[in-house]
Amino acid sequence: SIFVLLATIFALFVSIDALSCKYGEEYKCSNKVCERTCDNLGTDLVCDVPCTNGCYCADGFVRISHDRCKP
């Protein structure tokens, strides 16, 4: 059916996007405002903004300069 075809195409695009994530990142629904950085490492993050799919730092990693995630 058309629904199965569309779902397959969508899954393919999500898989391709996930492959573009760099070391220390994972493809998930989050927001750059909610990511851990060196500046907010010791604080409680209150994240009440809508999430968007993309490459964000994985658990245990923080965003540093040059748009990289480090453990």
Query: Into how many domains does the chain fold?
Result: 1
Distance CA 15, CA 56 (A): 15
pLDDT value at residue 66: 67
Q: Residue 54 is part of a domain; what is its CATH number?
A: 2.10.25.10
Q: What string of pLDDT tens digits covers the 71 residues of the chain?
A: 776 656 655 555 555 555 688 899 998 888 887 888 888 888 888 888 888 888 889 989 999 876 789 99
pLDDT at 53: 86
What's the pTM?
A: 0.65
Question: Which domain, by its residues, includes 27?
Answer: 2-70
d(CA 57, CA 38): 12
The pair of three-digit structure tokens given for residue 29, joined into one six-digit string: 């629904």
